[in-house]
Structure 1
Amino acid sequence: MKWFSHILAWLVLCIAVPAHAAAPNSVQVTYDIYKGSIKIGEIEEVYTRDKDHYTLSSITKPVGIFAVFKPEKVFVNSRGLVGKQGLKPLHFDHRREQDASKDSSAEFDWEKGELTQIHQEQRDMVALPEGTQDRLSAMYQFMFLPNSATVVDFPMTNGIRLNNYHYAVSRGQKLKTPAGEFSTLYLDDQAKSGERHNEIWLATQRYNLPCKMVITEANGDQLTQVLSKLQIR
């Protein structure tokens, strides 16, 4: 399920910013995933905040013909703290229903400044930069992104490695999705010619939740994730 790894790879954006007092306590979303014009999967996610703690769960399942040949679900979870700079993960795990060799997890020790990444029974301990997110918490860190932001630079772990990312932020066009029409911020990784190009649109009137994301491979192949259902409390 290489497409799933790609989809999540560009859900890795985060930034250390002041917390948004009006951020919701509960979010439930569903995304449709397309390869070209063909729907190949769905992602269902739930974000819950209880005072200064949060939990996140995500389930990805294949649909259509893809479900016949790749009938595997992928489970991703994140939990941690909510503070002045937004989300602060404590634990992350990624699990595939039929291939444990690709499972991974991460443990965040903020007091010691240490990040432990666990994959195939190997534990890799590295320095933990301030503001680090995991690849699931990252998309909900956008709830704390100021409207004045023009760039986003961030570290992110997927439980296997820690990487840094850079996106330019600008005002996006109004975007129609199955979940509604949204005013947006547009994030562009400014990829060079011949590189994979990642784009993401945030719904500015819905707490900057992602409403569309597109990966364009160097060969022109595209994966698109579009918001289809949204419930906020």
Structure 2
Amino acid sequence: MKCAALLFLLGLLSFPVVATDLPSRIEIKYAVTTDIGEGEIDEVMEIKHVDGKAHYSINSEAQATGMYKLIEPNSIMRHSEGFITKHGLRPMRAYEKRGKKQPSVAEFDWNNHIITLNHQGHHAKEKLPDGTLDRLSLSYNYMFTELPKHHVDRYVTNGHNLRLTRYTISKETLNTPIGKMETMVLTRQEEKHSKLKRKIWLALNNHMLPVRIVSVEDNGREIDKIVTEVNISYKPDH
């Protein structure tokens, strides 16, 4: 199955951002390794066309497996939805939910240039800079717009804060469970002595899909997720 998925993916050419050429569904499965155990992630991007506009939604569910599940029994749900434009993704709402905790939610008001952040019962409104993304939409953004040559500067929110981030860009051949891939690598630039880390590998010949992400989170958790399966569907809207 994995080989078939890889051959199918490699057989596709990069698509232009034209509504009729976009896939209707992309599903990516990842194996996850952390400093205290293993898990798996299933991410699904769906694209629909309404009134001449391309709408997207991305759902991501992370679940621990094996002994790690005893420590982290609850899944982590992430979601992003919005529009596809010639400049990339334009989120309208994004959230992250861990187990039974209240979700962290970001709501994007592009007409008034305001972002509303809801986290642990606290609500804050901030100015919404052009091009702002949430963490999930950032990973898929360069499917739909050209990647800059040297670095990416973007405001990114995780639902409880908003900050300007810079990613430097490099190139790397990546070995994955479904084969070798040529990738562009985005490496987030952190402040000196910061323990935070984030790197994103985008598959050059596979729609710039995120095929690996390595991060060190605010809680110190080290996470490495790498693609194990990709399925892409093209179905007309009804």
Aligned to 2:13: none
> Cα offset for 1:57?
0.7
Structure 2 SS opposite 1:164: strand
| 2:60 is the counterpart of 1:53 | no
Post-superposition CA distance 1:24-47 (Å, at most 9, x none): 3321011111125x7521111100
The answer to whether the 8 Å contact 2:171/2:183 transfers is yes
Aligned to 2:38: 40
CA RMSD after TM alignment? 2.3
The answer to whether the 8 Å contact 1:153/1:164 transfers is yes
State how far apart, in whole Å, the 1-side matches of 2:97 and 2:189 are. 31
Post-superposition CA distance 1:42-97 (Å, at most 9, x none): 11110011121111111111111110122111111111111121111111122222
State how far apart, in whole Å, the 2-side matches of 1:28 and 1:67 are. 23
Post-superposition CA distance 1:147-188 (Å, at most 9, x none): 55221111111110101111111221x212123321111222
The answer to whether the 8 Å contact 2:212/2:224 transfers is yes
Structure 2 SS opposite 1:232: strand
Structure 1 SS opposite 2:163: strand
Distance 1:192 1:118, change over 3 A: closer
The answer to whether the 8 Å contact 2:86/2:144 transfers is no
> Cα offset for 1:212?
1.6
Distance 1:226 1:127, change over 3 A: same
Aligned to 2:68: 66
Q: 5+ unaligned residues in a row in structure 2: which ranges?
A: 1-15, 234-238
> Cα offset for 1:111?
0.4
State how far apart, in whole Å, the 1-side matches of 2:216 and 2:55 are. 35
Matching residue's letter, 1:95: K
Structure 2 SS opposite 1:159: coil
Distance 1:69 1:205, change over 3 A: same
Aligned to 2:30: 31
> Cα offset for 1:213?
2.2
TM-score normalised to the size of structure 2?
Answer: 0.79
Q: Percent identity?
A: 31
Structure 2 SS opposite 1:61: strand
Aligned to 1:10: none
Aligned residues between the structures: 209
The answer to whether the 8 Å contact 1:32/1:39 transfers is no
| 2:206 is the counterpart of 1:209 | no
> Cα offset for 1:201?
1.5
> Cα offset for 1:104?
0.8
State how far apart, in whole Å, the 1-side matches of 2:216 and 2:161 are. 23
Aligned to 1:5: none
Distance 1:141 1:117, change over 3 A: same
State how far apart, in whole Å, the 1-side matches of 2:209 and 2:190 are. 23
> Cα offset for 1:105?
0.5
> Cα offset for 1:195?
3.1
State how far apart, in whole Å, the 1-side matches of 2:199 and 2:214 are. 5
